[in-house]
A and B are shown apart, each in its own frame.
Chain A
Amino acid sequence: MNFSYLTDPAHWDLGNPGSIPHLIVSHLGYTALALLFGVIIALPVGLYIGHTGKGSFLAINAGNAGRSLPTLGLLMLMVTLLGLGLLPVLIALTVLVIPPILTSAYAGMRNLDHRVVDAARGMGMRPWQVLTRVELPMALPVLLSGFRNAALQVVATATVAAAVGLGGLGRLLIDGLAVNDYSRVLAGAIVVAALAVLVDLFLALIQRLIVSPGLKGLS
């Protein structure tokens, strides 16, 4: 166990574009963009399927189908089709996060207590109000656990970006491997794992802040 790469202050120098903080920033950038696109694409679809019950089959099987797609293969396929750049990496990572977000949005909407929704309608709420004030807040715990799952997966998988010449913490792994510098590989592994834990803790905190206090006993 050689921690020299990780503890060398030169590798934490902000002025150096290949330093660990810079790699963390680009890594988080890929992660955030993939999650953003994933939410834009998968959330409405998942909520719609969960709300109407149409196409449940799609939502249930999206998870397994998505998991079986090898991200590395998809990434290399996209690079071969589109050339090197950010776009193929984002496409591959977005495809990775769509299934967990879709499935959790669907499950959250499906498992609502229908009496509450009926009561909201009975009180005279419009469909849009029922969705935004009752259904969404109640589905939030399930939805967020799916989102956290997706975030964790992307943080760990964004390392493959380095395999096609981009940045992110995968650089430490790929470059360290290329020159047999195991202390660099170890630094990459530790920083990615720590980042995944921190991102998860951060999202857990957000979850505590935005989930309605009335639901705390339920989830």
Chain B
Amino acid sequence: MIQYLTNNYEIVWQALQEHLYLALLPILFGFVISLPLGYLAVRFTWLYHPLINTFGVLYSVPSLALFVFLPVILGTKVLDPVNVVVALTVYTVALLARTVADGLRSVDPVVVQAATAMGYRRTRRLIDVELPIALPVILAGLRVATVSNISLVSVGSLIGIGGLGQLFTRGFQLFYLEPILIGIILSVLLAGIADLIIVLVQRAVTPWTRAA
């Protein structure tokens, strides 16, 4: 293991960096897209079920199929990282839009009425009252999306872009355990660290949840 790492330091380091940006960019985009979508699903009740069902179907499309198929839709090259980023953004939105909607729905109507009575307009109320209360639920969803994204990136290696997944295919082709093991360990570590960061952020921004 150590031997392999020292000999292939460059390859592993590059794979790790690629893995990071392929996993985290979609999380960022997905989060930004999910907030308004989730809000709309709460504001217009009739939208909730069609939206949830559509995303449920999207989530069941295998990642490999999406990676391969997006170039046909987007007109990108097959080996363009954009395909992986867009595909994972779709998965992130599929998970998060629902979580945002459920989080906002879980806010006690009494609190919303109180805020309205205090003179909060709709937008201010959403930003200052409803979102903070829904944050623990939303961040729980973000944890799931982040961890599953980090493990899904490696599937991209079957089409030649997959961060640490390249170490899997390389080891598989050479029938060689070490790169596969290193890839798995690093991928799990990345997911663990990312998960921990979200938990720490949640503790910092929602201090009231700790009192309970």
Contacts and interface: CB of A to CB of B under 8 A. Distances in A.
Contacts of A73: 154, 164-165, 167-168, 180, 183-184, 187
Contacts of A79: 172
Given A73-B187, A77-B184, A197-B60, A182 B168 contact: no
Interface stretch (B33-41, B44-52, B62-70, B128-136): B62-70
Given A80-B176, A157-B62, A193-B57, A186 B69 contact: yes
Contacts of A41: none
Interface string A174-211: 10110000100110110011001100100000000000
A156 B60 contact: yes
Nearest to B143: A64
Contacts of A136: none
A170 interface: yes
Interface residues of A, number: 39
A34 interface: no
Interface residues of B, number: 44
Given A76-B169, A81-B177, A182-B72, A188 B65 contact: yes
Contacts of A68: 147, 150-151, 187-188, 191-192, 195
B61 A189 contact: yes
Interface stretch (B97-105, B117-125, B155-163, B204-212): B155-163
A182 B148 CA distance: 27
Contact of A185 (B63, B65, B192, B195): B65
Contacts of A64: 143, 147, 195
Contact of B68 (A1, A177, A200): A177
Most chain-A CB neighbours within 10 Å: which of B60, B63, B192?
B60
B181 interface: yes
> What secondary structure prevails in chain A residues at the interface with B?
helix
Contacts of B72: 1, 182, 186
Contacts of A155: 60
Given A170-B62, A173-B68, A77 B158 contact: no
Most chain-A CB neighbours within 10 Å: which of B159, B165, B168?
B168
A62 interface: no
B151 A173 contact: no
Nearest to B58: A193
B177 A70 contact: no
A58 to B, nearest CB: 16
Given A156-B60, A170-B64, A196-B57, 7 more contacts: A70-B164, A73-B154, A73-B164, A155-B60, A157-B62, A177-B68, A185-B68
12 contacts: A1-B72, A70-B187, A72-B154, A73-B183, A74-B184, A76-B171, A77-B180, A156-B63, A192-B62, A192-B65, A193-B57, A197-B56
